[in-house]
Structure 1
Amino acid sequence: MKSLGILYKGILTRDRGAETASGPFEVMVAKEVADQIRSWRFIVLLALIVLTFLGSLYVSLGNIKNAVTIEQDPDGTFVYLKLLTITDGSMPPFHVFLNFLGPLLGIALGFDAINSEQSNGTLIRLMAQPVYRDNLILAKFVSALIIISHLFIALALLMIGAGLIITGANMEPIEVLRIFSFIFISIIYVGFWLSLSIVFSIGFKQTATSAIAGVGVWLFFTVFYPIVVNMAMKMFIPEQAMLTQPDAIKYNDMILNLLRLAPSQLFSDATTTLLMPSVRSLGPMSMEQMAGAIPSPLPFKESLMVVWPQVSGLLAATLFCFACSYYLFMRREIRS
């Protein structure tokens, strides 16, 4: 019995030590979070995003009273959603700003994730320790996602608090669901550019090359890809005015499907539908489909069903890019 008691105490001591001791993955995540927060590029991008958020919030609060008093506005009762969508034309709303600045945040957090470690000689020293290789790539990705998640949640809480203080309106539960769904989609959207930049940081030895590659892909999908799609469709159908209504609907559907290959278009479709409950469709509709439709907000479940293809596409693209980075890093030679 005495030996059993000693064995039981030893097991308890071992379990308590395992609970209090941090594993190598937790240590690397904490170290990466601290390094990212202290870096100047993150501070500059954080200040830029916060300034644009405050500017958009100021414009929205200045026009929220006029927007609520407008009649026949299905979204007029959703005051807190109006804070993220309404504008007077002087500044775009915040979700449009985030569509533009979010990729820069993801690229800045991941373009030197691996090649900077190798160029500084710290990657060999780190892999010489009893650390699994996949722990390093997971820590790089998870730490950046933690920073992005905390940033967007803090901005959402700041928006809700400002709305409570200035307007004094009660917040509906459906608004909470839609706002935090918007935050979740924003995290996935920035996570896609983060995983893509990590792929470039593994594929290129120089950090400047990986940064230029990430910015180049972002500029292509943001600026040049819509121009290429429109020019290509005009080559096949030069005179759109000669089309009948069913053919025009098919033509516009084809253009939208091609544009949705860009992550920015998927993000724009998803956030617009979630933040504007009156949006019922993301494509052109015929007069027969619009006949008898009453302008009213959609329930949250139906809005989520409308944007589910866009959300699943963003999530699949993010996981695919991270899987590519994982595969490339696991097969990379780090001794050279």
Structure 2
Amino acid sequence: MMKSLIAFNPFFRQHAPASPFRVMVRKEVGDHIRSWRFIIMLVLILLTFIGAMYVSLSNIRKAATNLNDPDRIFVYLKLLTTSDNTLPTFHIFISFLGPLLGIALGFDAINAEKNNGTLIRLMAQPVYRDNLLLAKFYAALKVIGTLFFSLVLLMIGGGMIITGAPLEASELFRILAFAVLSVIYVGFWLSLAITLSVKFRHAATSALTAIGIWLFFTIFYQIIVNMIMNAILPDPAYLQQDSIIAYNNLVLSLLRVAPSQLYTDAATTLLMPSVRSLGPLTMEQMAGAIPAPLPLKESLMIVWPQVTGLLAATTACFALAYFLFMRREIRT
């Protein structure tokens, strides 16, 4: 009878107690927004966004009138890809700062609760253990998504005010797809940081491990792959065309193990509609090809393997964190 009253009476629905999961999500979102580390990362991302937009707007006329560029008609995409080599474009900044944002929001998600003694008290309440881990991940991802979509709306609004150019539907969908891709990319590093926070007891250890993994894939991994491939494979100058293409595809496949490479490939394809392939092409494939922008559907088909790889890596990291957390003893 009481359930029927709650279901059909708006008064009861308004005053019904919130679920423990929603309460934990609301609490985590508030903690993230008020934390100094998030404020510092927010300031850094805003400064890079303002700098990249200033450089893009300063060179937007030149980019829009370049007759040799098939993407010149996409003014709002040019705001995210135009640069005069003084500053990198915005998606390059995100590929560098995005992992730091994810690590900052997740490196002490569990071990800080354990060290402060609040984990035992929280688990003594009528809440499921897996809801705690899911709330930590969902709250941080919610903050990240709000940040990126807010930056996208600021970019679109500023572009409309300054340039006065109309926003095409294809541009809007590409920009939104780029925002979703950025959230997925940062979400991978967030899930990795949460996994390390479950594995290690001290927050400093999990933070240093996550930063070490980020530095390895960002700086050292490409150097190591190129050194190994140059030492093993013959000189490309003495290879046939098919062998050179196979060699380049092998190098690209190894480089795409790095999440930053997957993100850069996908972001470039989404923001530059004229990109038709992420690998080397033969002369036969290039013969007769007209340089023209691809439809959004075709670009999504090109970047789908990269997006799937990021989603799979994020799911694997979160599944490992779930497995470790569910088997961990929290009373000692």
Offset of residue 12 of structure 1: 3.7
**Partner residue of 1:181?**
177
Deviations 1:190-212 (A, max 9, x none): 00000000000000000000000
Aligned residues, how many?
A: 328
**Partner residue of 2:289?**
293
Equivalent of 1:193, from 189, 210, 220?
Answer: 189
The answer on 1:266 being equivalent to 2:256 is: no
Q: Following the alignment from structure 1 to structure 2, what is the Cα–Cα distance between the partners of residues 225 and 205?
A: 28
Where structure 2 has 5 or more consecutive residues not aligned to the other structure, the ranges are: none
Query: Secondary structure of the equivalent of 2:210?
Result: helix
Where structure 1 has 5 or more consecutive residues not aligned to the other structure, the ranges are: 1-6
Equivalent of 1:25, from 16, 21, 46?
Answer: 21
Query: Secondary structure of the equivalent of 1:249?
Result: helix
Q: Following the alignment from structure 2 to structure 1, what is the Cα–Cα distance between the partners of residues 129 and 20?
A: 11
- Counterpart of 1:155, as a letter, is L
- Counterpart of 1:163, as a letter, is G
Query: Secondary structure of the equivalent of 1:255?
Result: helix
**Partner residue of 2:201?**
205
**Partner residue of 1:302?**
298
**Partner residue of 1:171?**
167
**Partner residue of 2:37?**
41
The answer on 1:13 being equivalent to 2:5 is: yes
Q: Following the alignment from structure 1 to structure 2, what is the Cα–Cα distance between the partners of residues 236 and 328?
A: 39
**Partner residue of 2:326?**
330
Name the stretch that deviates more: 231-240 or 214-223: 231-240
The answer on 1:53 being equivalent to 2:52 is: no
The answer on 1:153 being equivalent to 2:149 is: yes
Deviations 1:51-92 (A, max 9, x none): 000000000000000111111211000000000000000000
Structure index of larger Rg: 1
- Counterpart of 1:77, as a letter, is I
Q: Following the alignment from structure 1 to structure 2, what is the Cα–Cα distance between the partners of residues 213 and 188?
A: 21
**Partner residue of 1:3?**
none
Q: Following the alignment from structure 2 to structure 1, what is the Cα–Cα distance between the partners of residues 225 and 3?
A: 65
**Partner residue of 1:68?**
64
Query: Secondary structure of the equivalent of 2:39?
Result: helix
**Partner residue of 1:4?**
none
What TM-score do you get using the length of structure 1 for normalisation?
0.96
Offset of residue 13 of structure 1: 2.8
Deviations 1:100-146 (A, max 9, x none): 00000000000000000000000001101111101100000000000
Equivalent of 2:229, from 226, 233, 253?
Answer: 233
- Counterpart of 1:120, as a letter, is N
Q: Following the alignment from structure 2 to structure 1, what is the Cα–Cα distance between the partners of residues 203 and 147?
A: 25
**Partner residue of 1:281?**
277
Offset of residue 14 of structure 1: 3.5
What TM-score do you get using the length of structure 2 for normalisation?
0.97
The answer on 1:251 being equivalent to 2:247 is: yes
- Counterpart of 2:100, as a letter, is L
Deviations 1:200-241 (A, max 9, x none): 000000000000000000000001100111011011124221
Q: Following the alignment from structure 2 to structure 1, what is the Cα–Cα distance between the partners of residues 174 and 265?
A: 14
Identity %: 63
The answer on 1:96 being equivalent to 2:92 is: yes
Deviations 1:236-256 (A, max 9, x none): 124221111111111000000
